[in-house]
Amino acid sequence: MTKGIVLLAAGGTGGHLFPAEALAHELKARGFSVHLVTDRRAERYAGSFPADKIHTVSSATIGSKNPVAVVKAFLSLWRGYREARSLVSRLKPKAVIGFGGYPTVPPVFAAAGLGVPTAVHEQNAVMGRANKLLASRVRAIAGGFLSPGGDHAAKMVLTGNPVRPAVIAAAAQPYVPSNADETFNLVVFGGSQGAQFFSDAIPGAIRLMPDALRARLVVTQQARPEDRQKVIDSYATLGIRADVAPFFTDMSDRLASAHLVICRSGASTVSELAVIGRPSLLVPYPHALDHDQAANAAALAAQGGAQVIPQAQLSTDRIASLLTEAMEGPDRLATMAAAAKSTGKPDAAGLLADLVEAIAAGRGIAQSKGATQ
């Protein structure tokens, strides 16, 4: 017999689903049944998400300035609201927790209207548009990097960003610097939107590096399906050992083995780098609507755990120089790794689960606030 159902709502990208997955593991360990409501983009994660059942509802992003597109988006969200209201009425969850993305809006809004305890978790340093829409409706706002002030300070709890059990396991592997003549593991990824730049820039930069350094490199790189063969061919021409794919199911292990990570600075990425403790070159995605990635990156860089460089400043020559400096400075990378790890919050899933239990039991958020301050 379970303690009841907790319904998690998240957009269908890794940035929203990964922290939801971490909370799902923690809640199930505490005796809850977990259901997920999302959109069809989440299908590739379905096999790994620990939900007793996964539901989809209609949703749409309100991003276009075209009046017809805006009307269609609102109609889709209205359909999603009606679907979500029926779902919540049938499941009778103890709480509904949103993780951002527009698929979050219908179920959290419906649950709040039905009197079900609700909360949202904001992974980024800047609150996303969906969570902004919901902030006044929910009972609590959990934050990964959010500033504790602002309009909703009374209901805000800083939990950090939950990371998956695989990340916690990877964090047990200490950082071991790569010294001269030793293999240097480089991990490169850009998320669903940001990988294209790296597909051209990283192989081009490695081509400019000294032969002796190139010979040490082993590369793991995420690339879009349409770019994958081009990247593979580039590395083959250079004689680089490389594993290139659109998605890696074992990314936590690859991060744990990395000597340097070059990537975007989504909230889940920054949180996982911090928990595992790996040095990184962060390149905020320049087209992020709220510039949230730049703010996320700044939080880690401020502690010395990462170097942040805007994409506009990264020529192939500059990247080649940065990689050369990194490979020739193992002590500096080890210092960055330690600094990154000092900022990690491996207990974030537990703190968020405490908050969920508190609002589900009607206790409010005072105890959760005390646990995180």
Buried b (16+ CB within 10 A) or exposed e, 267-287: bbbbbbbbbbbbbbbbbbbee
Cβ atoms of 144 and 271 closer than 8 Å: yes
Question: Annotated binding residue at 164?
Answer: yes
User: Phi/psi at 189 (nearest 5 deg)?
Assistant: -155, 155
Question: Annotated binding residue at 192?
Answer: yes
Question: Annotated binding residue at 239?
Answer: no
Residues 6+ apart with CB under 8 A from 252: 164, 166, 167, 169, 170, 272, 276
> Which residue in this structure is represented by tokens 């300035």?
65
> Which residue in this structure is represented by tokens 């770019």?
227
Amino acid at 68: V
Residue 173 has a CB neighbour count (10 Å cut-off) of 15
User: Phi/psi at 54 (nearest 5 deg)?
Assistant: -115, 130
Question: Annotated binding residue at 343?
Answer: no
Task: In whole angstroms, give the CA distance from residue 250 to residue 267.
Answer: 19
Cβ atoms of 192 and 267 closer than 8 Å: no
Question: Annotated binding residue at 14?
Answer: yes
Buried b (16+ CB within 10 A) or exposed e, 146-170: beeeeebeebbbbbbbbbbebbbeb
Q: How far is CA 291 from CA 162, 273, 283, in A?
A: 22, 20, 12
Question: Annotated binding residue at 115?
Answer: no
Residue 3 in tokens: 């303690």
Cβ atoms of 190 and 222 closer than 8 Å: yes
Question: Annotated binding residue at 344?
Answer: no
Annotated binding site for UDP-N-acetyl-alpha-D-glucosamine: which residue ranges? 13-15, 124, 164, 192, 293
Binding site listing: 13-15, 124, 164, 192, 293
